[in-house]
Amino acid sequence: MSPFRHPTRRQLATLLVSLLSSAVTRVQAAGDKPKDNGIGGTGYISVIPDRDNGIGGTGVVGTIRAFGSIIVNGLRVSYPADAEVRIDGRAANVGDLRIGHVVSLVAFNDGGRSTTNKIQILREVVGPVEQVFDHGLRVLGQRIEFGRGARIEKPSAFAVGQQVAVSGLRLPDQTIVASLVERVEPGAAQLAGVVTRASDRRLAIGAQTLSGVAEAMLGQRILVRGAAADGTLDVTSTSADAWLPRGPSNFLVETYLERRGATVKTASGLTLGGGHDLSFQGVARAVVDIDATTAGGWSIRSLRTSETLGKRGAAKEQRENLEPPSPTRRPADASPGVGVQFPSGLDSPGAPGGYGTPAIPTGPVGHGFPSGPGGFGGGGGAPSPGVGRPGR
């Protein structure tokens, strides 16, 4: 029989590490797994945190980044083929969805998937092109900025008088940062935004003065339709613009924020509580997780900025884009569209993040949405052939 040999220190250390690893594996197998909801390393969030057992859902407002379901604010949201789709409040269908559309929906946690059966497409302005700039347009008095990283599909793509529909997010100065510009058939002019008072004391949205709108609408975000004549939009219909979907008390919203001290406001005019712990000052684009409070206000749960603009209210040269996410696959049946191209990734095989927009989160997701390293990045990718159509 071989004599007993005492184990060396190295052997004891190896045994200890093995035992600890085995214990950790058993604990994780028992259900105490790290909270990492990414899909296959892409950084997509497969499902919203189930904060209320699915009752009420989570309101989601943001830009469609990719298909295969739809990817909005990092969430992969599934929907049935017969889902109710509305564009500016009018009936449409899922075939009308496009990369770059800003949508409003309620997502529910359905057995580990985020699902919805109603999608509202929000467009900021529909009307004739009034002026063409080097990096944008003016439509119904609204400054439309494509900004750095976006370019016109071809030099003759837009012309004064051409009817277009613009999807995008507004800056605090009400400039629209476009994510999609579509050519549409001539029809009634349409404008969504916060009603302000112009220098001549008339009501206005952006630089477009309005007639036929009640004074009670001042400070409200509304949707108006009518006909433009002599620099004024003669409004024939007015409705409240459902920027946030009704029902939920929790929302995941893509927006431009403006911070002054501890006060944080969205470009649509919502004042958010909890801004004293934020790192940015001035204007930033972000996906922000907010709760409606019992007092009727809004509280920030978490956020991730994708670009900061400092103390400026216009998104031009002074952008600070964060590190782009890992590349993800473009849907195989995406086809070219019209309008603008986004070479930094809005509809590219390189990344769904796109020009000046929050990309798919690459960090772990715990309670709320990521606020530390990883999280929501800024987009970057290869040039794309245009704006795609939904996959199946």
C-alpha triplet 105, 108, 113: angle, nearest 5°: 115
Q: How far apart are CA 27 and CA 38, in angstroms?
A: 21
Contacts of 384 (CB under 8 A, 6+ apart): 341, 342, 343, 345, 346, 347, 348, 349
pTM greater than the 0.85 cutoff: no
What is the pLDDT at residue 9?
57
Contact 193, 161 (CB under 8 A): no
Instruction: Delimit the domains of the chain by residue range.
Output: 125-240
Three-state secondary-structure class, residue 160:
coil
Per-residue pLDDT of the chain (392 residues; tens, 9 = 90+): 555 555 565 555 554 444 444 443 333 333 333 222 222 223 344 445 555 444 579 999 999 988 988 999 989 999 999 999 999 878 999 999 998 899 999 999 988 889 999 999 999 999 999 999 877 899 999 999 885 544 445 334 889 999 999 999 999 999 999 988 999 998 889 999 999 999 999 999 999 999 999 999 998 889 999 999 888 999 999 988 767 888 889 999 999 999 888 788 898 888 898 777 777 888 999 999 999 888 888 989 888 888 888 765 444 433 333 333 333 333 333 333 333 333 333 333 333 333 333 333 333 333 333 333 323 333 333 333 333 444 44
* DSSP secondary structure, 316-331, as one string: STT-EE-------PPP
HSE, side-chain direction, 13 A CA sphere, residue 343? 8
237-242 contacts at long range (C-beta below 8 A, 24 or more positions apart):
238/212, 238/213, 238/214, 239/89, 241/122, 241/192, 241/193, 242/104, 242/120
What is the pLDDT at residue 71?
92
CA neighbor of 286 nearest in space, from 273, 267, 271, 269 = 267
What is the pLDDT at residue 367?
35
Phi and psi dihedrals of 67, rounded to 5? -115, -175
What is the pLDDT at residue 14?
53
Structure tokens given for 337? 């569209």
